Amino acid sequence: MLCPLVQAAPDMLKANLARDGGPRIVDTIMDMGPEGLESASFTESCRRLAADLGAVGADWCAAHRAAATAQRDFERACQDAGRRALDFCEAQDIPAVVVLGRPYTIHNTVLNSNVPALLREQGAIPIPVDCFPVGDAAPSMPEIYWGYGQRILRAAHAVRRRPGTYAVYCSNYACGPDSFLLHFYGYLMEGKPYAVIETDGHAGDAGTKTRLEAFLHCARGDAAAGGGAPADRTLGAVSGDGSGLGEIRRRGETVLIPRMGVPASALASCLKGVGVMAERLPLPDREALTMGRRHTSGKECLPMTVTLGALLQRLERERETPTKFAFFMPTANGPCRFGAYHILHRIVLNRLGWGDRVRLWSPADSDYFQGLPAGFDALVFTGFMASDLLLEALYDARPSEVGAGAALAVYEVFRAELLALLEREAARDLTVPSALWQAAGGACFGAADLLARAARKFAAVRGPSDKPVVLLVGEIYVRCDPFSNGFAVDRLEERGLKCRFAPTSEWIEYTDIDNVINRGPVPWSKRISHVVRGRIQDRLYAAIAGPLRWPARTTVPQSMDAGGAYVRPELSGEAILTVGGPVHEWREGIIDGVVNLGPHECMPSKVAEAQFFHVAEREGLLSVSIPLNGDPVDPQVWDSFAWEVHNRRRRRQTPSATAVGARPPVPVPAGR
């Protein structure tokens, strides 16, 4: 798998180049499949590519066979060259240095910071990772889902075990996968000299030369000392534990849940109801951020740093106690960096001496609650959806509340009631028939009635309002965590705006659909779960939306349909939701602007930011993208955006308004 920026490149290039008579962009989706050049998936991809290029009939088959043969011959030649180089280095007592990195970096004289030439100049033989024979003994590292990353780390694993052979990792500035892969590379190479050279393609090579001199000095010293084989290390040893909640309950561990918005409390309540000790970590603060930064480079996603810091902050209170913990940090299959969090969490915990007391509970995103009754999933989703809706009601009522604090008071009462309800219901019958009855009958474990009552209370404290409405979208953690997003809702409300937000439950709805689009057929049990969740969504939204006179709920299919002209659905992740949700609600007249909140250098957020420029050109939707790294957001960002939203709103409401800021007709999306 490639990173989101590479996968989204055709969409971004098409938006910039393939219009107004520009060049045609060939953007065929290529799937290598598990068997590589011989896989049915890759063969079908080549057929589609041939068709897109205008080649039909049997000619493409012959070309495919010839190309596959040429590629295999080339790869064998590369491996042979690498073996000859290693043999020469061993015979002549010359340091062999494997140059790790992506082909477009290490073979580009601008991007590789002149590393190969500098190594030769200093008496070493550089060997590209393409030519280094790794061998079957190196683990496959399935926990690394980026293709280049897996190849780089497998090579590092082999280098560490080969006397007299060393490695330099050539990285690119602000590379998203490398912000994690460099940690893993350091972990695998620990005990043997290694180097990292990061380049942006602009700096001179003087600094690179100095660093390589120091690296080779250490490498030669290691070789002279005998280059003793360091202890064995694999990433599999630090991956999260996939054991289920039943095992956690048996061990008596306390589950710590990162504070990803209000639904984290709902999950903790549900777990308590089935006999699992659980607590949601508190709202992060400066101290938590500082603690997280001590053990990270500053290049990773902000959620990684914040969740690590909040965990370490909580553990500091347990230095002298025997309490054991399971930290809830799910895995994912990419392409964004979230699925790599749990590995770095484990490396840091082990280094700090918490390895024996803190396990990483890392269920796959396809089944978070394996080992519990089937209905538990439905109850948790009910808690997520109801928590989101109560918060949405607070944001709806607070900007025009009849008395200061009235909306928050209503929210706190019903939030506490919901958490108590979830814990109580979790202790009851959660079999499949019970869950189906709760969904089909519309009771939704009592949450529907709770939301209906809450809606009437919110409606009673909400006064009339004609304030502009903005939608908060982006990466799920930062948009749902007030500390991480600079308390965006508060800042926008202070400037006379009303906020909507993309709820946590949106991601669960999306993963159901993504499993069908990108991961092939799914079992009937998953399909039934999807139907049950859909029924819960519709019923709970109807219960609260009626009294508050909300518009129809924006569904994930609607977001994907609206965003498909900017981001292809096959690119898994939040980018299409970040773009598509606002486009749909703008076309429906629900919002006046959108705020895209994402971690600094977040790849899906950068894709969305790039495409929002074209959304503005085609549709007139005002947006601001804010990259977040934990530091306060410049108030001028909020000021400028709020002023523009108010100004455009006034212009649209003026009968003599010009076309600037007015909603244009919805365009027909350009065909792919």
Topology (CATH level 3) of domain 93-234: Rossmann fold (3.40.50)
Question: What is the mean pLDDT of the segment spanning 94-117?
Answer: 92
Q: Where in the chain is the domain with CATH 3.40.50?
A: 93-234, 239-361
Asked if residue 640 has pLDDT above 60, the reply is: yes
Both tokens of residue 441? 């009958």
The three state secondary structure string of 454-509 is HHHHHHHHECCCCCCEEEEEECHHHHHCCCCCCCHHHHHHHCCCEEEECCCHHHHH
Q: Is 657 left (phi over 0), alpha (psi -120 to 50) or beta?
A: beta
Asked if residue 127 has pLDDT above 80, the reply is: yes
Highest mean pLDDT, choosing among 47-61, 322-336, 583-597: 583-597
| pLDDT at residue number 142 | 85
| pLDDT at residue number 240 | 57
| pLDDT at residue number 206 | 79
| CB under 8 A, 24+ apart: contacts of 77-85 | 78/128, 78/130, 78/131, 79/131, 79/133, 81/131, 82/127, 82/128, 82/131, 82/132, 82/133, 83/133, 85/125, 85/127, 85/131
Q: Is 557 helix (H, G, I), strand (E, B) or coil?
A: helix
Question: pLDDT tier at 38 (50, 70, 90 boundaries)?
Answer: confident
CA dist., res. 571 & res. 4, Å (int):
7
Asked if residue 399 has pLDDT above 80, the reply is: yes
State the Cα torsion 477-479-484-490 to the nearest 10°.
-150
Asked if residue 272 has pLDDT above 60, the reply is: yes
Question: Which of 456-465, 545-554, 592-601, 645-654 bottoms out in mean pLDDT, i.e. has the lowest?
Answer: 645-654
Question: What is the mean pLDDT of the segment spanning 518-528?
Answer: 66
Of 507, 505, 469, 504, nearest in space to 489 by CA: 469
Asked if residue 581 has pLDDT above 80, the reply is: yes
Question: Which of 13-27, 337-351, 487-501 bottoms out in mean pLDDT, i.e. has the lowest?
Answer: 13-27
| pLDDT at residue number 450 | 98
256: β partners: 279, 327
Question: What is the mean pLDDT of the segment spanning 86-106?
Answer: 95
The answer to whether residues 638 and 595 touch, using CB atoms and an 8 Å cutoff, is no
Asked if residue 592 has pLDDT above 50, the reply is: yes
Work out whether strand 358-361 and strand 498-501 pair parallel, antiparallel, or are unpaired. unpaired
CA dist., res. 125 & res. 29, Å (int):
38
- Amino acid identity, residue 358? V
Neighbouring CB atoms inside 10 A of 405's CB total 11
| pLDDT at residue number 137 | 84
293 class by beta-carbon count within 10 Å (0-12 exposed, 13-18 middle, 19+ buried): middle
Asked if residue 508 has pLDDT above 60, the reply is: yes
CA dist., res. 65 & res. 73, Å (int):
12
Question: Which of 309-313, 426-430, 579-583 bottoms out in mean pLDDT, i.e. has the lowest?
Answer: 426-430
Whether residue 103 has a cis bond before it, omega within 30° of 0: no
| pLDDT at residue number 371 | 64
In the numeric block, the tokens 């695998």 are attached to 188
Asked if residue 665 has pLDDT above 50, the reply is: no
Neighbouring CB atoms inside 10 A of 106's CB total 21
Both tokens of residue 601? 């250098």
In the numeric block, the tokens 């010293």 are attached to 221
Of 535, 588, 533, nearest in space to 558 by CA: 588
Of 309, 305, 321, nearest in space to 599 by CA: 305
Question: Which of 27-41, 85-99, 252-266, 357-371 bottoms out in mean pLDDT, i.e. has the lowest?
Answer: 357-371
| pLDDT at residue number 664 | 45
- Of residues 15 and 669, more confidence is placed in 15
CA dist., res. 620 & res. 652, Å (int):
12
Work out whether strand 254-257 and strand 165-172 pair parallel, antiparallel, or are unpaired. unpaired
- pLDDT tens-digit map of 161-216: 899 999 999 998 889 999 999 999 999 999 899 999 998 777 677 789 999 999 99
Of 133, 136, 152, 148, nearest in space to 85 by CA: 133
Non-local (6+) Cβ contacts of 274 within 8 A are 245, 249, 372, 376, 426, 427
Question: What is the mean pLDDT of the segment spanning 508-514?
Answer: 85
Label residues 455-490 b or e (16+ Cβ within 10 Å = b): bebbbebbeeeebbbbbbbbbbbbbbbbbbbbebbe
The answer to whether residues 141 and 153 touch, using CB atoms and an 8 Å cutoff, is yes
Mean pLDDT of the chain: 89
Q: Is 371 left (phi over 0), alpha (psi -120 to 50) or beta?
A: left
Asked if residue 69 has pLDDT above 60, the reply is: yes
| pLDDT at residue number 546 | 95
∠ CA 594-595-596, rounded to 5°: 115
C-alpha 351: how far from its chain's center?
Answer: 25
| pLDDT at residue number 257 | 95
CA dist., res. 594 & res. 641, Å (int):
10
| pLDDT at residue number 228 | 65
Question: pLDDT tier at 251 (50, 70, 90 boundaries)?
Answer: confident
Question: What is the mean pLDDT of the segment spanning 327-343?
Answer: 88
CA dist., res. 304 & res. 630, Å (int):
11
| pLDDT at residue number 245 | 77
Asked if residue 659 has pLDDT above 50, the reply is: no
Asked if residue 59 has pLDDT above 90, the reply is: no
Handedness of CA 517, 521, 526, 530 (dihedral sign): positive
Q: Is 363 helix (H, G, I), strand (E, B) or coil?
A: coil
What is the model's pTM?
Answer: 0.91
The answer to whether residues 378 and 536 touch, using CB atoms and an 8 Å cutoff, is yes
State the Cα torsion 40-41-47-48 to the nearest 10°.
160
CA dist., res. 172 & res. 200, Å (int):
6
What would the CATH number be for the domain defined by 239-361?
3.40.50
H-only helix segments in 190-301 = 206-224, 245-251, 263-273, 286-293
